[in-house]
Amino acid sequence: MALEGAVLELAEAFVSELIGRSVQLWTEGSSMPIGAVQDLVVDGREEYPPVTGLYIKCRDGVIRYAPFSAVRSLTDKAVILSQPPHDAKYERAADDELLLNRELLDKQIVDVDGRKVVRVNDLKMAPTGEHLRLIAVDVGLAGLLRRLGLHGLGQMWVERSARPGLRQSLISWDAVAPLAHVRPGDAVHLRLPQDRIERIHPKDLADIIEDLNAKDQATLLSSLSEETAAEAFEQLDVDQQLSILEDLKPDRAADILENMSSDDAADLLGEVEPDVQQQLLGLMEPEEAQDVRELLEHPEDTAGGIMTTEFLSVPLGSTIAQTLEHIRNSAEEAELVYYVYVVNEHEHILGVLSLRDILKSTPEMSISEIMNTDVVTVPVTASREEVATTIARYDFVAVPVVDDNGVLRGIITVDDVIDTLLPERLRKMIPRVGKSRQKQPKQQERGRG
């Protein structure tokens, strides 16, 4: 703490102004220069992180550490310490700390509210009681000029700029998510409550990922929950996916793949080297891996290659009540919940009923009373053009795919057909008719009856 009887003096400042500022040691009523500020350490767990310490480059060339409790005053001229700094390695002491100069300045961060990637030109600090806190990120030209030592020019730019957007270049710290390493070699994570990130639409999150450099793309995906990462990853084009896949650790890549829809995962794995494909399949959950392997067995331009194995089916003897219960338990795992397929013990398709049919019926009714037995199907060997023609002819949302023995193998939704006919950039702009692919815990029953 400050010397007895002294009042801690703090003032607003930008980090660029603090770096290099003179550090003096208060002894016997006077202060003596001992070095200059090298970096500031903040506790990243708080919404507006307080400074917990300073690294000081002393006159003998050694970088030493002073806890913030040793600061007597911080003015625009100098930082006054009440006790000398001590020897310490120039690194974060805990996983939740951030080094503002070394880890944030000039780095890319995610502006969560603006849904974009920005570069940190400077950081604003403000006093709150006996704490100095990080409150905002400066991403504007004024911050860059300040960093270059042109403080007066930067201030003049802010004051004279006629465009409000240029005058205000500060983003509140609680709206950003810096990318930071925990330990060398570890995955990188976002220092932001997960629910803030997960509220960003997958397409917006994909746009953010595309704006990052190659290293930080893998960094961001590694920091997200598996479900959120998979939803955003599916929005990227295949070339981008393949590039990121190379930078992800195999375990993490497998986690993302098994949370993608099986057809999208198969499409991606069909583009990688066979040894990489088998490695990733081996790391996936057996059930998800088996679905993907089944799809990989079919040529990509056939019904078997574009279908998904995630669908809803029930046995012939089911009642409406049992079917509704099955939908509730399995909806998260299914690509589409509008159609429910009726199968026998050998998985032969016997009928189909829509969600509308189910909701209009009484719970005790048997599905055999309302199902449509005139089921239009396509064979696994059908071309994508044949599939598209069938869906268009009958105005289907989805069509079931059967093998040579009449066994139901999967379904093809109308957007899957569009995916095969449109250029990739346009595909990503088409709304999906299938599920949101955020999955529930593994104990849930799979889509097959």
Q: Domain ends where: 249, 269, 297?
A: 297
Spatial CA neighbour of 298 closest among 360, 382, 227: 382
Identify the band that residue 2 occupies on the pLDDT scale cut at 50, 70 and 90.
Answer: very low
Local confidence band at 4 (pLDDT 50, 70, 90 cut-offs) = very low
User: What count of other Cβ atoms lies within 10 Å of the Cβ of residue 395?
Assistant: 7
Domain end call among 297, 323, 350:
297
Tell whether the model's pLDDT for residue 286 goes beyond 90: yes
| Alpha carbons 185 and 221: distance in angstroms, whole number | 15
Q: Of residues 441 and 169, which shows the higher confidence score?
A: 169
Q: When comparing pLDDT for 35 and 206, which is higher? A: 35
Instruction: Give the pLDDT score at 133.
Output: 93
Highest mean pLDDT among 174-178, 180-184, 284-288, 426-430: 284-288
Q: Give 61's pLDDT tier (boundaries 50, 70, 90).
A: very high
Structure tokens that stand for 260 in this block: 């993608």
Least confident of 60-64, 154-158, 372-376, 385-389: 154-158
Strand order in the sheet with 313-315: 313-315, 339-343, 349-354
pLDDT at 56 over 90: yes
In a domain, 449, yes or no: no
Looking at residue 433, its pLDDT comes to 55
pLDDT in tens, 232-277: 999 898 889 999 999 899 999 999 999 998 888 998 999 999 999 9
Q: Rounded to an integer, what distance in angstroms lies between the CA atom of residue 137 and that of residue 108?
A: 11
Q: Is residue 187 part of a domain?
A: no
Pair 318, 344 in one domain: yes
Task: Check pLDDT > 50 for residue 6.
Answer: no
- Does residue 3 belong to any structural domain of this protein? no
DSSP bridge partners of 399: 412
pLDDT in tens, 360-392: 999 999 999 999 999 999 999 999 889 999 998
Asked if residue 96 has pLDDT above 90, the reply is no
Task: Enter the pTM of the model.
Answer: 0.61
Mean pLDDT of 337-341: 93
pLDDT in tens, 116-141: 777 888 999 999 888 899 999 888 87
What CATH number does residue 326 fall under?
A: 3.10.580.10
Residues 24 and 141 in one domain: yes
Does the residue 304 lie in any domain? no
Look at residue 194 in the predicted model and tell me its pLDDT. Answer: 56
Domain check: are 270 and 228 in the same one?
yes
* Residue 180 covered by a domain: no
Query: Is residue 352 a contact partner of residue 341, using CB atoms and an 8 Å limit?
Result: yes
Query: Domain boundary residue among 111, 144, 173?
Result: 173
pLDDT of 250 reads 93
pLDDT band at 186 (very low <50, low <70, confident <90, very high): very low
In a domain, 418, yes or no: yes
What pLDDT score was predicted for residue 159? 54
Alpha helix (H) ranges present in 286-397? 286-296, 303-306, 320-330, 355-360, 384-394
- Provide the domain limits for residue 325: 313-427
pLDDT in the model for residue 349:
95
CA distances from 226 to 251, 253, 309, 437 (A): 11, 9, 20, 11
pLDDT score of 51 more than 90: yes
Query: DSSP secondary structure string, 387-430?
Result: HHHHHHHHT-SEEEEE-TT-BEEEEEEHHHHHHHHS-HHHHTTS
Q: Give the Cα separation of 253 and 300 in Å (integer).
A: 22
Both 331 and 419 in one domain: the answer is: yes
82 vs 8: CA distance, rounded Å: 10
Contact 64, 90 (CB under 8 A): no
Q: Count CA within 13 A, CB hemisphere, residue 16.
A: 20
Q: Do both 126 and 247 map to the same domain? A: no
Q: Assess whether pLDDT exceeds 70 at residue 419.
A: no
Q: Which two tokens stand for residue 269?
A: 């794995």
Burial readout 422-437 (b: 16 or more C-beta within 10 A, e: otherwise) = eeeeeebeeebebbeb
Query: What's the mean pLDDT in 309-333?
Result: 92
Residue 433 lies in a domain: no
- Identify whether 20 is part of a domain: yes
